[in-house]
Amino acid sequence: MSKPPSNQLVARFLNGHIQKIEFGNDESVPDTWPYLVNSWNIKKHESWKTYGLTFYAGNPPPGADGEHRFELHCKHCLDNKCSISKLQKPTQPSYVLSSNFTEDLFPQPWKHSSVQPHGHSPDCACWEDRIGNSNPNSHPSNIRQKNFLVDVEYEIEPRPPLLPLSGKIKLNYFGDTVSNEKLRELFLDKLREMESNEIISDINDNSDNRKFECKFRILSLPTHISESVNAGNIGVSGDPTFHILFTKNPHWNNLRFWRRKPLSQGMLAPIPLLGKDPEKISLQDSENSSNTYLININDDFEIDFNAVSNRSIAIGDPSKEHPLGTHVHIIREADLRAELSQLSDIAENLGIGLIRKNLIQIELIELDQNSNFNHITHILSMNNNTGEDAKVEINFLPFGAGRTQFERNMSDIEFTDVNIIKEGHIFGIKPQDRPIVKKNSTEVVFLKLIGRGELQCKQLPYSQDIRNSISEMIMVRNCRGRDIIDKHSIEIVKINLKDKNPEQISEILRELFRISGIQRLDDWKHPEE
């Protein structure tokens, strides 16, 4: 994301008054941002969530004429009459939760809110993020994503008494052999650095010529939400930065609730949390509900585990504390839902809530991006054990749209992927094609995704007789589909198997068998082949 000229930072009050801001992070230097935060008594304005980027000055400067509200702008853009001249809030790590706008400022905290060409005048120097295009009067021909999220996949291994916590990162290569090998070494160097800081251990590199894949044991939770790997000097296309994402929240709520992974020999995986303010967990509410494995990080849950849990397992050893806590509590999901519903303060204190009852369960299966399996990239298995039919809305939000859950949670990461038709554009399954999952049945949906982004599924009221019913987000997942061909190729497509010939159906089913761990079915054929 482009940075404004260092001598063109201004605060613009709603009465039109312009006040210059000096470049620097030292609060002792007059008119720098940290200095003004204190002298003006700057806070977020109450309209922040609605309009964004609006500040309140309790002690406004002369010339503001008593007007307290102001925005941050690039004066160069204002003078050029650009339609988008606003600056982002000075950049801080996302773990900074207070309104102290001087805490942990980055060395270069100022960024434009948008560097898209349509937001700036043709002769403005601030839309400089272009590749292979020197003509300022035309749109960029090939603009590529600069930042990539690489999620840490967590597992708890069933090896009592320690139950080690392991993590895995995986990245599909996209360069030549030489740059891919350099990228592999960059990632390994970062992991070795974390190993020397006693954050991880037992690094196991399983990379091949198609992807980087590495597993490691986690000894302690890192203090930062992400670790960054800059590939700008090794010849990787687009000079990207990779962010190894350990968590999406400072409370580590995503590592409190666990379930057994199917076909994994007892491995535990975190239960995905949905939404924000509060983050919500989906728990079944029936006699047949499965077990939840709850880790009471920092002993935040005031629950009588002796009364509610089937069993509690001590983890860790005297010489090395387990990174998550002291015990894993095995609790039936229905019992845990009942207990959590009695804790009225967990939303306020921990940002945790419960997804409402009677929701369908969705499992996302991502197919190997390096295979020749081009018809389908993802499979949604939707299981409806409720007493009512359900309709599911499916949307795909590309990174850079500014509306994905990940982007809202990761404000410290620059998203400059402008391979998007329109800022804020949502790609979704057409209303007439939304799947309907009948009660007490399972529906499988085949999808083809083009691009990188976030897949969102929302359960909608299906029966027209239901009044005042609310929809509920039931899945949010970071996804990578097929690589885009050009900036207009991002899309989501629902695949109908009725349109496939027997050979294609055989290919699809063999891939499903392979993913499920079913062996010796490579020669299976559709009966009509």
| Pair (450, 489) in one structural domain | yes
Say what the pLDDT of residue 49 is: 46
Boundary residue ending a domain (292, 321, 354)? 354
Does 417 reside within a domain? yes
The SS3 of residue 437 is strand
Q: What is the CATH number of the domain that holds 176?
A: 3.30.1360
Residues 262 and 345 in one domain: yes
CA atoms 31, 34, 38, 40: torsion sign: positive
Judge if 483 and 384 occupy the same domain: yes
- 283 and 333 Cβ atoms separated by less than 8 Å: yes
Residue 260's pLDDT is 85
Residues 447 and 344 reside in one and the same domain: no
Residue with tokens 């650095």: 193
Residue 30 pLDDT: 86
- Look at residue 144 in the predicted model and tell me its pLDDT: 44
Yes or no: say if 436 and 391 are a contact pair by the CB < 8 Å rule. Answer: yes
Neighbours of 225 (CB within 10 A): 21
Distance, in Å, from the CA atom of 522 to the CA atom of 510, rounded to the nearest integer, reads 6
Question: Could you tell me if 389 and 310 lie in one domain?
Answer: no
Indicate the burial class of 519 (C-beta count within 10 angstroms; 0-12, 13-18, 19 or more).
exposed
Determine how β-strand 378-384 pairs with β-strand 441-450: antiparallel
Residue 126 in domain: no
Instruction: Report d(CA 339, CA 323) in Å as an integer.
Output: 25
pLDDT at 138: 29
488 assigned to some structural domain: yes
> What are 378's strand-pairing partners?
366, 447
Q: Which of 245, 268, 291 is the last residue of a domain?
A: 245
Amino acid at 430: K
Residue-level pLDDT at 452: 80
Domain end position, chosen among 354, 382, 414: 354
In this prediction, residue 417 carries a pLDDT of 40
Query: pLDDT by residue (tens digit) across 1-28?
Result: 567 776 788 999 988 899 999 888 777 7
Residue 33's H or E segment, with its range, is helix 33-40
Q: Are residue 59 and residue 152 in the same domain, yes or no? A: no
- Domain containing 400 — which CATH number? 2.60.40
Q: Both 151 and 266 in a single domain? A: no
Q: What angle do CA 218, 346, 161 make, to 5 degrees?
A: 35
Non-local CB neighbours of 55 within 8 Å, separated by 6+ positions: 11, 42, 43, 44, 45, 69, 70, 71, 72
Q: Per-residue confidence of the chain (529 residues) as pLDDT tens digits?
A: 567 776 788 999 988 899 999 888 777 788 888 889 888 988 876 655 444 577 888 889 988 888 888 888 988 888 888 878 888 777 766 555 456 677 767 666 777 877 766 677 766 777 654 333 333 332 332 334 567 778 898 988 777 666 888 999 988 776 667 778 888 888 999 999 999 988 899 999 998 877 889 999 998 888 777 788 887 767 665 667 888 888 767 677 888 899 887 766 778 889 888 877 788 888 877 777 788 888 877 777 777 777 777 777 777 554 556 788 778 888 888 888 888 887 777 787 778 888 877 788 888 888 766 555 567 888 888 888 887 888 999 988 877 666 676 666 655 554 444 333 344 467 888 888 889 999 888 888 989 888 888 888 888 877 654 444 567 888 888 887 877 766 567 788 887 777 667 777 777 777 666 665 565 666 666 666 6
Cβ(163)–Cβ(328) under 8 Å?
yes
Q: Does residue 398 sit in the same domain as residue 481?
A: yes
Give the span between the Cα atoms of 210 and 369, in whole angstroms: 10
User: Which DSSP category does 482 fall into?
Assistant: B
Q: What's the pTM? A: 0.56
Domain identity same for 482 and 370? yes
The answer on 80 and 175 residing in a single domain is no
pLDDT digits (tens, 9 = 90+) for 269-301: 898 888 777 888 888 777 777 888 888 777 777
Q: Do 489 and 391 belong to one domain?
A: yes
Tally of structural domains, the chain:
4
Question: For position 392, what pLDDT does the model report?
Answer: 92
Residue carrying structure tokens 């899945």: 475
CA torsion angle 157 163 167 168 (round to 10): -20
Beta strands in 333-450 (DSSP E): 352-354, 361-366, 378-384, 390-398, 427-428, 436-437, 441-450
Cα separation, 237 vs 62, in Å, equals: 50
By residue range, what is the domain housing residue 258?
253-354
Closest CA to 471 of 396, 395, 364: 395
Q: Same structural domain for residues 376 and 265? A: no
